[in-house]
Structure 1
Amino acid sequence: MQATTDLTNTQWQVADAIARQLVLDQTDLNEFRKTISYLRAYGDRPDAGKKYFDYLNALTRNGDRIGHSKKTHGYLESITAICQKYLENYKDDADTMLQILGWAARLMQYYKVAGPIGEIPEPTIQSEREAEIQAVVTSQEFYEGQTLEAVITGIKGNKVTYEMLGTLRLTAREPKHAKDLSEGQIVTVEVTALKPDGSPKNVKFTG
């Protein structure tokens, strides 16, 4: 299956992981689709993503009271646990959550038809921020002594946090300069050490 342009690579991995885990748990696809219908119906309401989680928890908690069979209750427990595990970062973005769930349902149907997928290792999913950082690191060549423009995003005591290239953030001790700096200020920093992946490990204020 190929990634859709509707999702970022990270979101595609999330959708795929949800689908695979649900299939491995032998979760009923129709029960999963019912929960998606709830989010689709109420997705334009405030806190829709959080309320989707509340809805899943309520279904699981009250499953026996509202006539669900033991098997259905197991399906709901699986759906709740897996969705909360993989969608926590999207609870404030109901539209994206709905897209991910929609593709997860399609993939789930595909995997069920394709036959047993066997045990799969726990997927390693980059966060959106990790993906952004990786993109910057691979597109730039850093070296010790290099100077970069940075925005000060935080100051705590003599520790100053710099953001470079709109993504990379590093905190450095600046005992001589911290008191004269302010958040939001644009400054120049020098790269003093690199990580094994070639990205800056340490920087210092230069002006």
Structure 2
Amino acid sequence: MAVYLDESTYSLTEYESQIAHNIARILAEEQIKLNRESRSNSDGIKTELEKAIAYLYAKIRQAEGKSKNNVLSTLFNYLEHLVKYGKQIGHTGNVPKYYDSILYACEQYFDIKQDNATRVLTILGWSARLIRFYKQKIESGEVLPAIAPVVKSPPETKNQTITNQSQKFEIDQILDATVVKITGSKVSYQVGDVFIPNEKEPKQAKNLQEKQIVKVKVKVTAIKEDGSIKHVKYHSI
């Protein structure tokens, strides 16, 4: 299956390249995990990612002449639908789990309100190509370094004024948070006045209580260009 890329450029910035590699690594590790559980050697997660890419490409073409940022919300809704109703619409085996992993990876690195869909298309295209590369490395026994957080450096401008200094955070900073909602293995946190929805916490979600105010320590795993929190991870002290 063809992997569609942004027609205007096939190159990635360093920031985008890091995201492409991280997504590929996440999905490769998940594929290996699921293959071990089912005793298979499938590349199904790559196939399903390519289908999602084709879907995004089609939606971008339909939206030509309009804002392409809103197209990303369509992709996320599509993935969420497949995760929720995958078995009912004929998907069997690990396919719903594949889409859950793809959705999780996209939620970690893309902002549907800010990111341009054509650039996301290019990044995911490279990720699809890199999945097998990482899968082979891991299966060969190579020990890979931990997936590093990705931080986008703000553009340099003269007389630049940085606002909201009190709201800026650092990677690996440990903060107090409140558990707001639990949906399956996903937990929504409140850090100060910042709401962080649907962080995947498969090991911790069952130990937390939905809607109960609980003080937990969280580990910042990604920050936005303006220095605000993008993602956090439960951190046991």
- One-letter amino acid matched to 1:64: K
Q: Give SS of 1:67's match.
A: coil
Q: Give SS of 2:162's match.
A: strand
Q: Distance in 2 between matches of 1:81 and 1:58?
A: 13
The change in CA–CA distance for 1:48 and 1:99 in structure 2 (over 3 A counts) is same
Q: Distance in 2 between matches of 1:90 and 1:8?
A: 20
The change in CA–CA distance for 1:167 and 1:55 in structure 2 (over 3 A counts) is farther
Q: Given that residues 19 and 105 in structure 1 are in contact (C-alpha distance below 8 angstroms), is that contact kept between their aligned partners in structure 2?
A: yes
Q: Which residue number corresponds to residue 20 of structure 2? A: 15
Q: Which residue number corresponds to residue 68 of structure 1? A: 91
Shift of 1:104: 0.6
Q: Distance in 2 between matches of 1:63 and 1:82?
A: 18
Alignment of 1:33-48 (within 5 A): 33-44=50-61, 45=63, 46=67, 47-48=70-71
Q: Distance in 2 between matches of 1:6 and 1:50?
A: 24
Specify the structure having the higher radius of gyration (Cα): 1
Where does the alignment leave 5 or more consecutive residues of structure 1 unmatched? 137-163, 173-207
Q: Which residue number corresponds to residue 29 of structure 1? A: 46
Q: Which structure shows the higher helix fraction?
A: 1
Alignment of 1:1-207 (within 5 A): 6-26=11-31, 28-44=45-61, 45=63, 46=67, 47-88=70-111, 92-116=115-139, 118=143, 120-127=145-152, 131-132=153-154, 136=156, 165=158, 167-170=160-163
The change in CA–CA distance for 1:79 and 1:6 in structure 2 (over 3 A counts) is same
Q: Give SS of 1:70's match.
A: coil
TM-score, structure 2 as length reference = 0.51
TM-score, structure 1 as length reference = 0.58
Question: Over aligned residue pairs, what C-alpha RMSD do you find?
Answer: 2.7
Where does the alignment leave 5 or more consecutive residues of structure 2 unmatched? 1-8, 32-43, 166-237
Q: Given that residues 24 and 118 in structure 1 are in contact (C-alpha distance below 8 angstroms), is that contact kept between their aligned partners in structure 2?
A: no
Shift of 1:132: 2.7
Shift of 1:121: 1.9
Shift of 1:126: 0.8
Q: Distance in 1 between matches of 2:159 and 2:50?
A: 39
- One-letter amino acid matched to 2:150: I
Q: What percent of counterpart residues are identical?
A: 30
- One-letter amino acid matched to 1:39: L
Q: Given that residues 72 and 112 in structure 2 are in contact (C-alpha distance below 8 angstroms), is that contact kept between their aligned partners in structure 1?
A: no
Shift of 1:118: 4.5
Q: Given that residues 7 and 100 in structure 1 are in contact (C-alpha distance below 8 angstroms), is that contact kept between their aligned partners in structure 2?
A: yes
Q: Given that residues 50 and 91 in structure 1 are in contact (C-alpha distance below 8 angstroms), is that contact kept between their aligned partners in structure 2?
A: no
- One-letter amino acid matched to 1:95: T
The change in CA–CA distance for 1:25 and 1:14 in structure 2 (over 3 A counts) is same
Q: Give SS of 1:88's match.
A: coil
Q: Distance in 1 between matches of 2:96 and 2:160?
A: 43
Q: Given that residues 43 and 49 in structure 1 are in contact (C-alpha distance below 8 angstroms), is that contact kept between their aligned partners in structure 2?
A: no
Q: Distance in 1 between matches of 2:55 and 2:151?
A: 28
